[in-house]
Structure 1
Amino acid sequence: MKVLIVLGISAAIAFTAVFFSFLQTGKDVVFEIEDNCITEAIQKASNLVDYATQYALKRNIQGKGIASPTSLLTFSKFPEQDSQDISQAAERMEMSIQVLKQKVCKKYKRSLHPTDHLSADLLTMIANISGCLPYMLPPKCPSNCLANKYRLITGACNNREHTRWGASNTALARWLPPAYEDGLSQPRGWDPSIRYNGVRLPLVNWFFSQVREVTRKIIHASNEAVTEDNLYADIIMVWGQYIDHDISFTPQSISRTSFLTGKECQMTCERQNPCFPIKVTTNDTLSKGVDCLPFYRSSPTCGTGDHSILFGNLSALIPRQQINGLTSFIDASTVYGSTSNVENKLRNLTSEEGLLRVNSKHRDNGQEYLPFTDRVPSPCAQDSNTSEDERIECFMAGDSRSSEVTSLTAMHTLWLREHNRLARALKAINSHWQAETVYQEARRIVGALHQIITLRDYIPKIIGQDAFNQYIGLYKGYDPTVNPTVSNVFATAAFRFGHATIQPIVRRLNAQYLNDPELPNLHLHEVFFSPWRLIKEGGLDPLIRGLLAHPAKLQVQGQLMNEELTDKLFVLSNNGSLDLASLNLQRGRDHGLPGYNDWREFCGLPKLETQTDLNAIITNQKVTEKIMELYHNPSNIDVWLGGLVEDFLPGARTGPLFACLIGKQMKALRDGDRFWWENDNVFTEAQKNELKKHSLSRVICDNTGISDVPVDAFQLGKFPQDFKDCSTIDGMNLEAWQEIFQEEEMCGTPKHVENGNFVYCSESGESTVTYSCQHGFQLQGEEQLTCTNKGWNFQAPVCIDINECENEINPPCSPTAKCINTKGSYKCLCTEPYKLAEDGRTCIDSTF
């Protein structure tokens, strides 16, 4: 009974600040648990996490002027609401266990280890109070007809037995056990006294802390030291980045200060969660008076790390794991989002054509732009020649990184336009379709095109046809035993090979594919977070022509990454910089990725023992000398670096290790996806034949003013001889999607429901209709109606507004804000002198 009371109270107050104040004052709440020491530990840990989060939000709202590189990275890595809730719950849980480990409890007369004398009921209570427990439960999967027709926006329930496989806001997959120093969560390099393969490296070359030295001595190249690819155009690099953002996004900790010490991560070299700073030397171009560059660890997932004891065998702890905020599937989540909350923001819910929202202020020669973000003022750069009243904010898309660089923004914009083009055309040939049907059908086509372009046109060029045949092969149908979840090593290392293919110069060309004096070449750092350049400097067309007609940078061992990325990442002014190579190396250690040799053995490749072994797979021996100077042993090499420097396979743009890891991942994404475009009953044979005709070049023709393109957009060619008029570029005939509408004579048209939608879905010879509600509303009544000889078997349901403000378990606003319910949503309001923080939920004292 005691435990039930506690669980009931904790569920009701959901670990809010109100709860903390009750605990601190001792009023209104009576807690009787096994040991007050445990209560104090949980309270302290959660206060530390929540304070650090609120401090970060305070700093964000107080920031004025040009954004720093760190704040830009934070903006693009800021998780949407569902990810925020999971991240914060997991960090509370992790800190609770850490504090319990350190705290001396009178009852035990020693530091308490979490496995000591803690009942299962009490452990469950801790998990519940932290907010973790709900995220450990499997999702509820719909059983209606549409569950077999359209994928859920979250990716959940794709696999009927393993409903979380591939879903958003779940853990990245582990293909090998992680390599943490303490076996649970501490990254390699956290403790300088630990030896690796018999080596404790001297402090001056302590590579486990000084990833920046690896960048400077092995990876960095000047902007002029660029070898251009003789086969592939610059757009192949953009597609790789774009597809990466379709299948993986690991949010970093929202907090900006150490949980235990309260020190700002930007002001300390101390390694205390979530701070894992990158050491720089005094003669480093990035030092500028600081000893370290700030680095924030990726948020853990509930049920991993130190607190995994709560959810499994006490003798088999699950090491720390990281979140994938997106669906793992190639499903165009870049266009539609990976949660219902994001999807709702992106849709034009007043349109009868199932359209996506577009920018209400600006057009591109009559074509659509992405809408602006609702997180204003956003940190994106502004045209220095315009006033503050003419701000151009960051764009909003299915992925939060859409404004990072103009070429990526252009790709997002192309697919926004393609969805709306398809939706209008589908509605025109199927006038009886409801908006929801049009939206879902267009979404399904766009997702299929992403899959086709990636597996047919992109991946064979990257890993080579031989590796494609070895690791991917022909499609044999959906395999429910294959886990499609994106792996940690793929997201954190292998698919980041593309960073070595980025050109330092951005080119914009006129209709004759010539340089335009009004649109001069730009250095890459001049287009970071600069959507204003698209809107005010020629729109998409000149930029896409530059991507089509100029080569990608070739990944050369002595020219891995140019200074735009290693010295000027996200630089909008002279207030600091970041280094993408160092971030990649540090992120791999943060995620506990095993070393280079471990992954070679995983792929069946020979283990490398000496520099001579390295020389056999790396042509540039100066590079192997520098690697051995810093790493001492091939087994110590970071997997991202090791895979990057291998000689290319024949006909490929990666070496054998990355070809293996990318190939295995792509096969899993294909074979483990029940909605893969080639799978039975996803499309008709006629529709599949039409989809095969389409291409990225056709998408460009249909959604820009460009009239001449290569047949294969990725293949480098010269204008005009290698370009074709758009009228000769094949594309889909949407008549394959035309339905002959016969209104149900016995039942008639189903009743339209306000704030809801319905979709026809025939099953087992029966005519059925399935209803759904818009985000912020809940269905009241029967979800699925079937036509019988007496008419529809049920009355149409209604969509009732959800009063989010009544949710006491997971309140939408923090206790510092007042929650006001609105139709289909809610608002968090603050009173002066408080302002709403970036999360849209917390009130921050702006005068502090």
Structure 2
Amino acid sequence: CNNVRRPFIGAAGQPLSRLFPSPTYADNGLGVQPRRQISQFGGGSNAGGGELPSVRQISLELFQNPKETNPFGVNEIVAYWLYFVGSDLVNIAPNQCLIKGTSVAFPCCTPGFAHADCDPIDIPSSDPIYGPAHITCIPHSRTLPAPRDQCALGPREQANHVSSFLDGSQIYGSSYETLERLRAPGESGRLLISNNENNLLTLDPLSSDYCQSPDKQKQRCFLSGTPDVNLLAGITLLHTIWVRQHNKLADGLREMNRHWNGDRIFNEARRIVIAQMQHITYAEFLPILLGIDAVRKFQLNLTPPGSFSSDYDIDVDATTLNEFATIVIPVAFSLLQSINNSSTTTTTNLFNNPSRLYEQQGVEQLVSELHSRQAERPGLKIDLNFRGHFLQSNTANVGLDLISIALKQERDHGLPSYNLMRVNCGLEKLQSFGEMRLILINESVADQLATIYEHVDDIDLLVGVLAERPLKGAFLSQTLSCIIGRQFQRTKIGDRYWYENFFAPSAFSEEQLAQIKKTTWARVLCNVTNIKQIQLSSFLHSDIFENTPLPCESSILPNFDLEPWRDPESPLRLPITDETIKKVVQLAELNLQEQRRREARNIQKNQSTLRFGDPLFAYSNMMRAKPHSKAHARVSAILLESTRIFASGQKLVDGEQLPSLDIDSLQRLLPNIEVGRFVSNYTAFLSEDGQATKDDCLPRLLPCDHSSRYRTFSGWCNNLKYPHYGNAFTPLRHLLHPAYDDGFDAPRSRARSGRPLPSPRRISNAVHIDREIVHAKFTHMFIFYNL
């Protein structure tokens, strides 16, 4: 429901979107066969339909170890931030089998095993890593598909298992079940942390199955919103930073607004965290990654301080792009320096090993390391740990090849070739490998590409965007900037909850927005770690000129002020418990049962049966209540009786004395008491036949179909924010506060002087005199039309 016109857009479990209009599958676009055939692009010498080159061959022959840091001063934290926001926007998973509740990869390399989604990676016997281990095949299966929009028939699409919005799903999860495992119990509004002095993430109870820390008992892996939290220490660090930030905000909000409950504290802290993540990404990260020109081109600029944005467009589909989803992870890891050159970490303890964070000052050491070490210069480079040792455990000699997997996924998803994506981005189509020399980082790569691919149209997207030369003033290549720029353009303009948007109720106030826009990554790090100093432009390497390290106490790093979140007035709270409320509702039930028995006896004794011709019979027949109205009236009766009991301050059945308050205080307090969860216990009593259910007696909180062009018969969902407004069987509204004699229910009967109001019959006789005065303009139709 982020998009009220198309509620499923961007929701977890929905199919990824595409930049290229149609998938380029090998079977005429249906998606049954993932591999693209050369003939599909028409131009290769083998234009009859040969297969594309082996993904492992591409990984071995084109990709090198990192060996050259970038000349732009970009820190390695940029690589981790790209991965971090990427995991917020997308999570794709391969098809697997379920054995005793556990997902297990298909044994696609086992002789005799066959499955339509098996797409194994073939390994040559001469492979330098897998050959000595006698591995000739790596199991691989296709990505889980997702139903197309409105279950339409058509080509295969891939499911995104997280929301497509920049909403902190990697921290909070994309389901209530995940959130329940991460949120601290009670009314603190905090996220869980592990019980240790380092203030780390909560522990994963199942981490022993995969955790590679040296001491699995004392240094267990962590739990977060996405399962990749332990993949690398830098990724775990970012999760830790933002969980700490959430808890710091929650503590501040709870101290400032002690009347807020845990849900209010949690949701407001989460809302601020999401806004700060969005602001840092667009204000600090993207201008470095894409360059100022691309930021302007793709409308990624933020509004000036003190200004709201009106860029939201309900027609923009914010669903994560398939092209972005498939290449973002290998692109991020390609920006890391060689592992062996950057630290003492070895292959066997690199992945799923959180031990560094358990060290004394481990978080601070990692922060310093990632913000002082320069990122690798973009290109066809990625550390060998990702090309044969990816996810390698302590008990294995080899791991997986991330590049081979990424290329398999790219073809599996039917993504366009590099050349077709260039055209989609408005760039010139390449006609030959020789022409490619003009746009590559290294001209000699064109010769390597020519020996592997039959035609320039066959070059895989990931290979092309990494080989392409970056634009002037940008860190990444032009085609890659196009993909990432378009993704973040949709993420910003297509998000109804974008932090700069002006429309209520999701909008921040002007004062709150001003505080959000003061947020910097440097200040967040200072607030939640014990570092002493940090450069202001934290995604860039420090220098002695414009980006010298500043002490955390510096006024140049402004603090985030929660004062705009202070409630101007704390509402009164009635000093009673849920148990007391339950007893009041029970007493109200007993009182109403006795009242109904008295009414029945009095009617039988004093009221004769109405006959035809009797005006009372005609009146009662015309004003007869519908069954639903009677059910709602009985709900109102039990609520009103409960209100009377509270107002009277009487003793309850067990002798408990209710607090005695003046009528003004009660009128302010009682409407805030929610008793629906107790009324549901007495719904049988509320109906005439004793068979009512809660749904019969209480409003049904059904989801709205925002895309419907027709009205509902009851008026439900006419107002998207408050679906019950104007709905049938809901209370009438007052222009002024009700003027009951007892403040709640008793009809008004006294004049200002304190004497009884005049009889209605007397007023009728005095005011409504029958005179034959004919209006000069209006006919009787005017009267009946208004009835």
Same fold (TM over 0.5): yes
Is 2:69–2:337's contact at 8 Å kept on the other side of the alignment?
A: no
Aligned residue for 2:339? 505
The within-5 A match list for 1:248-397 is 248-255=90-97, 264-267=107-110, 272-287=115-130, 288-303=133-148, 311-312=151-152, 317-350=153-186, 352-360=187-195, 362-364=196-198, 368-383=199-214, 386=215, 390=217, 392-397=219-224
Shift of 1:188: 4.0
Tell me the C-alpha RMSD between the 2 structures.
3.3
CA offsets per residue over residues 218-267 of structure 1, 9 Å max, x none?
A: 1132x5x233454111111111111111111002212289xxxx982243
Distance in 2 (alpha carbons) for counterparts of 1:391 and 1:266:
37
What secondary structure does 1:544 align onto? helix
Amino acid at match of 2:564: A
Distance in 2 (alpha carbons) for counterparts of 1:793 and 1:236:
48
Distance in 1 (alpha carbons) for counterparts of 2:483 and 2:50:
28
Is 2:106–2:140's contact at 8 Å kept on the other side of the alignment?
A: no
Amino acid at match of 1:541: E
Aligned residue for 1:428? 255
The within-5 A match list for 1:9-24 is none
1:590 aligns with 2:412: yes
Is 2:330–2:402's contact at 8 Å kept on the other side of the alignment?
A: no
Is 1:462–1:654's contact at 8 Å kept on the other side of the alignment?
A: yes
Is 1:229–1:552's contact at 8 Å kept on the other side of the alignment?
A: no
Aligned residue for 2:676? 797
Is 2:35–2:412's contact at 8 Å kept on the other side of the alignment?
A: no
1:561 aligns with 2:561: no
Amino acid at match of 1:158: N
Aligned residue for 1:542? 365
Amino acid at match of 1:377: S
Distance in 2 (alpha carbons) for counterparts of 1:631 and 1:199:
9
Distance in 2 (alpha carbons) for counterparts of 1:467 and 1:263:
42
Give the counterpart of 2:435 among 601, 613, 619: 613
Aligned residue for 2:731? none
Amino acid at match of 2:434: T
Amino acid at match of 1:167: A
Shift of 1:286: 3.0
Is 2:194–2:202's contact at 8 Å kept on the other side of the alignment?
A: yes
Aligned residue for 1:714? 539
Amino acid at match of 2:144: S
Amino acid at match of 2:62: I
The within-5 A match list for 1:411-422 is 411-422=238-249
Shift of 1:495: 6.4
Amino acid at match of 1:643: V
Is 1:407–1:543's contact at 8 Å kept on the other side of the alignment?
A: yes
Distance in 1 (alpha carbons) for counterparts of 2:23 and 2:114:
20
Is 1:256–1:265's contact at 8 Å kept on the other side of the alignment?
A: no
CA offsets per residue over residues 460-493 of structure 1, 9 Å max, x none?
A: 1111111111112445432111111101111112
Amino acid at match of 2:398: G
Is the alpha carbon distance of 1:466 and 1:268 closer, same or farther for their aligned partners in structure 2, counting shifts above 3 Å? Answer: farther
The within-5 A match list for 1:398-797 is 398-474=225-301, 476-493=310-327, 496-505=330-339, 521-523=344-346, 526-536=349-359, 538-557=361-380, 560-573=381-394, 574-680=396-502, 681=504, 682-718=507-543, 722-728=548-554, 729-743=557-571, 791-792=670-671, 795-797=674-676
The within-5 A match list for 1:190-201 is 197-199=42-44
Extract unaligned runs of 5+ from structure 2: 100-104, 302-308, 581-634, 644-665, 681-787
Extract unaligned runs of 5+ from structure 1: 1-156, 509-519, 755-780, 802-848
Is the alpha carbon distance of 1:427 and 1:193 closer, same or farther for their aligned partners in structure 2, counting shifts above 3 Å? Answer: closer
Is 1:321–1:591's contact at 8 Å kept on the other side of the alignment?
A: yes
Shift of 1:670: 0.6
Amino acid at match of 1:409: T
Shift of 1:180: 1.3
Aligned residue for 1:139? none
Distance in 2 (alpha carbons) for counterparts of 1:790 and 1:398:
38
Is the alpha carbon distance of 1:164 and 1:195 closer, same or farther for their aligned partners in structure 2, counting shifts above 3 Å? Answer: closer
Is the alpha carbon distance of 1:566 and 1:698 closer, same or farther for their aligned partners in structure 2, counting shifts above 3 Å? Answer: same
Aligned residue for 1:126? none
Shift of 1:799: 8.6
What secondary structure does 2:73 align onto? strand
User: Which moved further from structure 2: 698-707 or 177-186?
Assistant: 177-186
Amino acid at match of 2:313: D
Tell which structure's C-alpha radius of gyration is larger: 2
Distance in 2 (alpha carbons) for counterparts of 1:215 and 1:478:
41
The within-5 A match list for 1:175-186 is 175=19, 176-182=21-27, 183-186=29-32
The within-5 A match list for 1:85-234 is 157-175=1-19, 176-182=21-27, 183-189=29-35, 197-199=42-44, 208=52, 210-221=54-65, 225-234=67-76
Amino acid at match of 2:569: F
What secondary structure does 2:96 align onto? coil
Shift of 1:457: 0.6
What secondary structure does 1:567 align onto? strand
Distance in 2 (alpha carbons) for counterparts of 1:669 and 1:404:
25
Shift of 1:790: 10
Aligned residue for 2:304? none
Is 2:52–2:458's contact at 8 Å kept on the other side of the alignment?
A: no
Distance in 1 (alpha carbons) for counterparts of 2:579 and 2:128:
62
CA offsets per residue over residues 325-374 of structure 1, 9 Å max, x none?
A: 11111111111111111011100122x220111113x331xxx1111113
Normalized per residue, the structure richer in strand is 1
Percent identity, aligned pairs only? 27
What secondary structure does 1:621 align onto? coil
